[in-house]
Amino acid sequence: MSNTFKDYILQPNDQLMGLTQLVNGFDQNGQACEINVVEEQPLTIFLNGQEIVTAMTIGDYPQYLALGFLKNQGMLTDNENILGIDYDDELQTVVVRTDGKTIYEEKLKKKTRTSGCAVGTVFGDMMEGLENLKLPNVEFKVSWLYELSNIINQTPSLYLKAGAIHGTVLCCKNKPLVYMEDVGRHNAVDKIAGWIYSNNESGKDKALYTTGRLTSEMVIKCALMGIPVLVSRSGFTAWGVEIANQVGLTLIGRLRGKRFMCLAGKDRLIYDFE
Query: How do the pLDDT tens digits run along the chain, 274 residues long?
Result: 445 678 899 999 888 888 999 999 999 999 999 999 999 999 999 999 999 999 999 999 999 999 999 999 888 988 899 999 999 999 999 999 999 877 676 666 554 444 344 444 455 666 777 888 889 999 999 999 999 999 999 999 999 999 999 999 999 999 999 999 999 999 999 999 999 999 999 999 999 999 999 999 999 999 999 999 999 999 999 999 999 999 999 999 999 999 999 999 999 999 997 5
In CATH terms, is domain 140-270 a member of 3.30.1060.10?
no
> What pLDDT is stored for residue 60 in this prediction?
95
DSSP 23-85: EEEE-TTS-EEEEEEE--EEEEEEETTEEEEEEEE--SSHHHHHHHHHHHTTSS-TT--EEEE
| pLDDT tens for each residue of 82-121 | 999 999 999 999 999 999 877 676 666 554 444 344 444 4
- Which DSSP letter does residue 176 get? E
> What pLDDT is stored for residue 250 in this prediction?
98
* Rounded Cα–Cα distance for residues 223 and 236 (Å): 16
Degrees (nearest 5) of the Cα angle 139, 144, 145?
Answer: 100
Q: Provide CB contacts within 8 A for 242, sequence distance 6+.
A: 216
**Beta strand ranges found along the chain (DSSP E):** 20-26, 32-38, 41-47, 50-57, 82-88, 93-98, 140-141, 166-172, 175-182, 207-210, 229-232, 250-256, 259-264, 269-270
- Which DSSP letter does residue 111 get? H
**What amino acid occupies position 64?**
Y
pTM: 0.91
> What pLDDT is stored for residue 114 in this prediction?
41
**What amino acid occupies position 195?**
W
* Rounded Cα–Cα distance for residues 252 and 246 (Å): 15
Degrees (nearest 5) of the Cα angle 13, 93, 58?
Answer: 30
> What pLDDT is stored for residue 105 in this prediction?
65
Domain ranges of the chain: 41-128, 140-270
- Which DSSP letter does residue 267 get? G
Topology at the third CATH level for domain 41-128 = Ubiquitin-like (UB roll) (3.10.20)
Sign of CA dihedral 18, 23, 28, 31: positive
> What pLDDT is stored for residue 102 in this prediction?
78
* Rounded Cα–Cα distance for residues 178 and 159 (Å): 16
> What pLDDT is stored for residue 232 in this prediction?
98
